[in-house]
Amino acid sequence: MASSQRRRFLGAGSVGLAAALLLSACGSGSSTSPSSSTGSPSAATSSAPAVSGALTIWTEDYYVKIFEPIVKPWAAKNGLTVTFVTKDFGQMGDQFVAAVPAGKGPDIFISPASTNKLVSNGVVAPVELGDTANAFSKESISAVSQDGKIYGVPFTVENLAMFRNTALAPTAPTSFDDAFKTGQALVKAGKAKIPFAVGLDPKGGNPYMLMPLQSSFGSTIFGTDANGNFNPDDLTIGNEQGQAFAKWLAEAGKSGAISNNTTLDIALQTFKDGKTPYLITGPWDLGGIKSSGVKFSIDPVPSAGGQVAAPFVGNYAVYQSSQSKNPLAASLFLTDFMTQKDTQVAIWKEAQNPPALTAALDEVSADPNMKAFGEIGATAVLSPSIPAMDQVWGPWGLTQVAILNGQGDPVALWKAMAAKIEAAITKSG
């Protein structure tokens, strides 16, 4: 599917729930396509020892199309037959967890980083990266680590930013209020239709898209323990900072600054049509925006609450099944193929998502758009990839909808949301 359609959350503990809330599914059903031994100039090369046999890789259609031609030369060099199996994005995480213990899973799984879920279910094996781990961004390695062990190799870093139409808004706003005033004036003058575009689901909200604005109030989801791990027993979303965001969100709904009727598709298309000065989205929409011909800049999301508007940072990663039928080859795929600069640059050329490997990111940073996303990503915060997040997404998004629609006192709604989440976490634990 086209990258402009890949508006999804990365890094949630539950892929299926995040998909249901935030995005349309990628692909349907399953299909297989074996790699051949033809060459590709973008593929990585190595002097790794040869292995043999077969590898099966599960991922969504989007990454099957990207990985398959890149993998072919490496597979041929190592005497491997690699078969890709296309899985539905919204279901593949749960399918992998169910299939591995039954001996029906793949050797390799490519997905959003959901390490806690995969490790807690015993379906992935640790990977020995040694000093090579230092070649990746610290945040991306954290996303694939659990209890001091590394379980995957990250290859993208994704975070939100603000696209600014430089013809409509020549200078970057100093705050969200500043941006909204500019947008309102453009709408009043007939030069724009939406003052500030944020794609939401009219029924389920979109906490991922609104997180930068929420975090600018100092609001977080969970606290952390002494080791820096997210603590499911320390739910912070309902505190004073979260309540302050709820009050602001209610006012934003009343003023039209944030509209619950602006879906992801509407928000993107309005920006591509040159009818809104600002759009919050990620690098997955970069290609479509470029093709539209709109002149743009990529800026940090402006602060609504006075602090840095920090988006979630997400990663895609490659995991080895704990029940791989060819563990030597699977391990080599992670430690050799996925750690090479050429591999990660080749993935970037198609996906346009900043690479997790520092050398690859340095190579593509000549692209000003990648440089901008990288700088904004430095302020981003990790999404809590812990099972307790499964209980957060639904109430969080539904409460946003209720607040934006003026269905009650925003603070009361926010407190009730936090209580519901806490009760669900306690019950599930």
d(CA 130, CA 47): 18
User: CB–CB of 281/160 below 8 Å?
Assistant: yes
User: Do 286 and 422 share a domain, yes or no?
Assistant: yes
In a domain, 193, yes or no: yes
| pLDDT confidence of residue 371 | 87
pTM higher than 0.85, yes or no? no
Question: At 395, phi and psi to the nearest 5?
Answer: -60, -35
Q: Nearest Cα to 124, choosing from 331, 325, 321, 332?
A: 321
In a domain, 387, yes or no: no
| pLDDT confidence of residue 384 | 86
Percent helix, strand, coil in the chain (nearest 5)? 45, 20, 40
Q: Which helix (H) or strand (E) holds 339?
A: none
In a domain, 22, yes or no: yes
In a domain, 421, yes or no: yes
| pLDDT confidence of residue 49 | 52
User: Do 165 and 154 share a domain, yes or no?
Assistant: no
User: Do 23 and 150 share a domain, yes or no?
Assistant: yes
User: Do 424 and 284 share a domain, yes or no?
Assistant: yes
In a domain, 238, yes or no: yes
User: Do 144 and 182 share a domain, yes or no?
Assistant: no
User: Do 74 and 189 share a domain, yes or no?
Assistant: no
User: Do 174 and 126 share a domain, yes or no?
Assistant: no
User: Do 258 and 297 share a domain, yes or no?
Assistant: yes
In a domain, 197, yes or no: yes
| pLDDT confidence of residue 109 | 98
Cβ-based neighbour number of residue 88 at 10 Å: 17
User: Do 260 and 344 share a domain, yes or no?
Assistant: no
Q: Using alpha carbons only, how large is the chain's radius of gyration in Å?
A: 21
What are the 10-residue block averages of pLDDT along the chain, 429 residues in total? 38 34 34 41 45 92 96 96 95 96 97 90 96 92 91 94 98 98 98 98 95 98 88 96 98 96 96 98 92 97 98 94 97 98 95 91 89 88 86 96 97 98 92
| Strand positions, DSSP E, 337-426 | 381-382
| pLDDT confidence of residue 51 | 72
In a domain, 147, yes or no: yes
Q: Which domain holds residue 182?
A: 161-310+392-428
* Per-residue three-class SS string for 59-106: ECHHHHHHHHHHHHHHHHHCCEEEEEEECCHHHHHHHHHHHCCCCCCC
In a domain, 353, yes or no: yes
User: Do 298 and 411 share a domain, yes or no?
Assistant: yes
User: Any bridge partners for residue 382, and if so which?
Assistant: 313
* CATH code assigned at 136: 3.40.190.10
User: CB–CB of 374/101 below 8 Å?
Assistant: no
Q: Which residue has the tokens 């074996």?
A: 34
- Report the domain count for the chain: 2
User: Do 150 and 165 share a domain, yes or no?
Assistant: no
User: Do 198 and 107 share a domain, yes or no?
Assistant: no
Cβ contacts of 212 within 8 Å, gap of 6 or more: 160, 280, 301, 309, 310, 311
What are the tokens at 87? 């899985």
| pLDDT confidence of residue 50 | 57
- End-to-end distance of the chain based on CA atoms, in angstroms? 37
